[in-house]
Amino acid sequence: MPRATDVPPWDNPVPPVAPHIPELARLCPELIPNEMKKVRRMMKMFQTDIAKQVSTGSRPPTLVADCISRAIRAEYWINQDREARA
């Protein structure tokens, strides 16, 4: 079974570093000063199809935790759709 480190970053829909963004932001608060900027930076890390699903809806994500959970759900449903088509 391939590890997350074996997958090139451009093929990885939700980067392995995504859950660690809050920790990294605490180390360098001047680089990511507020929650909305963290969410915007995280959205740029996602593949286009996942970013579209995360950002659409009645309420766009405003918290990093919300953004991560939406991305994981979007990744799951995209993979389910791909498997159904195969």
* Distances from the Cα of 11 to the Cα of 6, 28, 41, 58, 86, angstroms: 10, 27, 18, 28, 18
The predicted pLDDT at position 17 comes to: 72
The predicted pLDDT at position 75 comes to: 92
**pLDDT surpasses 60 at 47:** yes
The predicted pLDDT at position 32 comes to: 65
pTM confidence score: 0.62
Ordered by start, the domain boundaries in the chain are: 34-86
pLDDT tens digits for range 7-28: 555 566 666 777 777 787 777 7
Higher per-residue pLDDT: 73 or 9? 73
The predicted pLDDT at position 21 comes to: 77
Dihedral angle computed from the Cα positions of residues 68, 72, 74 and 77, in that order, rounded to the nearest 10 degrees: -170
